[in-house]
Amino acid sequence: MQTQVRKESGKQTKRYQIDMTNGAMFGKIILFTIPLMLSGMLQLLFNAADVIVVGRFVGESALAAVGSTGALTNLLINVFIGFSVGTNVLVAQAIGSGRLASASSTVHTSVLFSVLCGIFLAVLGVIFARPLLEMMDTPEDVIDQASLYMRVYFVGMPVVMLYNFGYAVMRALGDTRRPMYYLIVAGIVNVILNVIFVTQFHLDVAGVALATIISQAISAGLIVRCLCRLERTTGCRLNLKKLHINKRVLFRMMRIGLPAGLQGAVFSISNVLIQSSVNLFGKTAMAGNAAASNIEGFVYTAMNSLHQTALSFTSQNYGANKMDRVKRVFIICMGTVTVIGIVLGGIAYLAGNTLLGIYSSSAEVISYGMIRLKYICILYFLCGLMDTIVGASRGLGSSLVPAIVSLIGACGLRIVWIYTLFRMDKTLENLYLSYPVTWFVTAAAQFVFFVFIFTKIKKSITKTLG
């Protein structure tokens, strides 16, 4: 009976796993990307449900409070989320090259490390929520609710980190469907609890934060259960008794993940500065900005799925020394992300009034939201191209240079814009224009570097193999 169970488990794993190193490419990339895209959108629904419920049932101040914490929250967690990029790359390369023992060590190190990171973030967020919000010039009529929301939300950081690292392992394995199913369950729970906690228990912003924590704990628990039941032959099966920190694996994971995390953190710093600049226009502008950010977030997440796809497919094929397939992955992902960005960005802008009306019935809030959608969504595909190139470069094991390019091109230039051009013309239009300009500059520089590193690696592999 036990043997039969193992056989059925193995069949189930293979049914969900995608072979990235053999066979036709385009169909597999789409099959891998669509669940990623839907999963990302479901994660966004956690925050969107928070924003919609407080906007509709609590009021404009609560909407501004929840929306204004996004950039700061991302700033605090992005460094640690970046480490999961290292997990994805190392596991995928190990699978591609057949080094299953290395994959197993990476999985067990990553899971334990994720929980430790989550505990650290929980303490950090609870203690420093209000001081950091004060540094962002958060208005007095918003800051109490914003700090309460952040503190409750950060209590759940251990499960947030655990889910993200577990999901990184599943992506490296080629399985993006089961995490999507888990998020569907968690998303439904989140929406139901949001309504109950706010309308029945009148917990307001604390209620929506608590609902998010509970739903994320469910998704984390399901993905850990999945990892524990994987077939041993995948190299990724999790045994909770074997959790450990392998210093060599952790160093390699940090070498790839730390630049990615720092890049995300500095991106968040620039977004915090932009949020602080938006705060100068008052809580109505903040509410419109928050609603528009949620809408454009769905477009970004759809495009970012190609970043994850390029990362995983490139890593496995690089591990298998199949550089021609790496090139095809790059071309397909770049074309796909362009189409997604143009189509979904256009829809978000054209349907902006209707979509913003879901978050708030205030005509002034909607008007402010439309300003942001106009300057960001129409050219959002540039951001998608930039991120996809970075994903491909990281898949080749190069994380530091892409991070530096992004820091200088996107983050640095955006910060310079805020302190020069925005100071000369303090309008929201001028502020939002900094986004597409910096995306274009950074994407061009990232493309040049990818071509350089790809050519260098291909020549090295060709020389080694004969």
- How far apart CA 14 and CA 236 sit, in angstroms, is 13
User: 142 vs 444, which has greater pLDDT?
Assistant: 444
The total number of structural domains that make up the chain:
1
* Cα 362 from Cα 293, distance rounded (Å): 17
How far apart are the C-alpha atoms of 450 and 276, rounded to whole Å? 34
Residue 128 pLDDT > 70, yes or no?
Answer: yes
At 9 the pLDDT is 46
Query: Is the model's pLDDT at 4 over the cut of 70?
Result: no
Structural tokens at position 408: 């200088």
Question: Using alpha carbons only, how large is the chain's radius of gyration in Å?
Answer: 22
Q: Is residue 17 part of a domain?
A: no
Higher pLDDT, 6 or 334: 334
Q: Shortest CA distance to 110 belongs to which of 234, 243, 235?
A: 243
| Mean pLDDT within 198-204 | 90
Q: Is the pLDDT of residue 415 over 90?
A: no
CA–CA separation, 249 and 341 (whole Å): 36
pLDDT score of 201: 92
Average pLDDT, the chain: 88
Cβ pair 381, 304 in contact under 8 A: no
Asked if residue 5 is part of any domain, the answer here is: no
What is the pLDDT confidence band of residue 46, given thresholds at 50, 70 and 90? low
Burial of 385 (0-12, 13-18, 19+ CB in 10 A): buried
From 341-350, 351-360, 406-415, the region with the lowest mean pLDDT: 406-415
Q: Using the 8-state DSSP alphabet, how is residue 410 labeled? A: I
pLDDT tens column, 142-200: 899 999 999 999 999 999 999 999 999 999 999 999 999 998 898 889 889 999 999 89
Give the predicted TM-score (pTM) of the model.
0.78
Q: Is 168 left (phi over 0), alpha (psi -120 to 50) or beta?
A: alpha
Residue 300's nearest CA partner among 33, 85, 41 is 41
* 229 within some domain: yes
pLDDT in the model for residue 3: 41
pLDDT confidence bin for 8, thresholds 50/70/90: very low
**In terms of DSSP H, where are the helices of 58-156?**
60-68, 70-97, 100-135, 140-155
pLDDT score, position 148: 94
Task: State the average pLDDT over residues 129-153.
Answer: 89
Q: Give the per-residue pLDDT at 394.
A: 92
* Mean pLDDT on 72-98: 86
Tell me, what's the pLDDT at 47?
Answer: 65
Reported as a pLDDT band with limits 50, 70 and 90, residue 6 is very low
Kindly report, residue by residue over 236-283, the tens digit of the pLDDT.
999 999 999 999 999 999 988 888 887 777 776 777 778 888 888 888
Residue matched to tokens 């020394």: 321
Residue 57 placed within a domain: yes
Is residue 179 in a domain?
Answer: yes
Answer with the residue of higher pLDDT: 16 or 421.
421
Domain contains 221: yes
Given a contact cutoff of 8 angstroms between Cβ atoms, the answer to whether 291 and 63 are in contact is: yes
The confidence score (pLDDT) of residue 5 equals: 38
Band the pLDDT of 466: cuts 50, 70, 90: low
Cα(398)–Cα(89) distance, integer angstroms? 10
300 pLDDT above the threshold of 70: yes
* In a domain? residue 4: no
Say what the pLDDT of residue 13 is.
54
Judged against a pLDDT cut of 60, whether residue 12 lies above it is answered with no
Query: What is the extent of the structural domain holding 312?
Result: 28-458
Q: In whole angstroms, what is the distance from residue 80 CA to residue 161 CA? A: 8
Please give the torsion angle defined by the CA atoms of residues 307, 313, 316 and 320, in that order, rounded to the nearest 10 degrees. Answer: -130
Mean pLDDT lowest among 2-16, 39-53, 54-68, 300-314: 2-16
| pLDDT higher than threshold 90 for residue 362 | no
Which has more pLDDT, 336 or 85?
Answer: 336
* 19 part of a folded domain: no
Q: What percent of the chain has pLDDT over 90?
A: 56
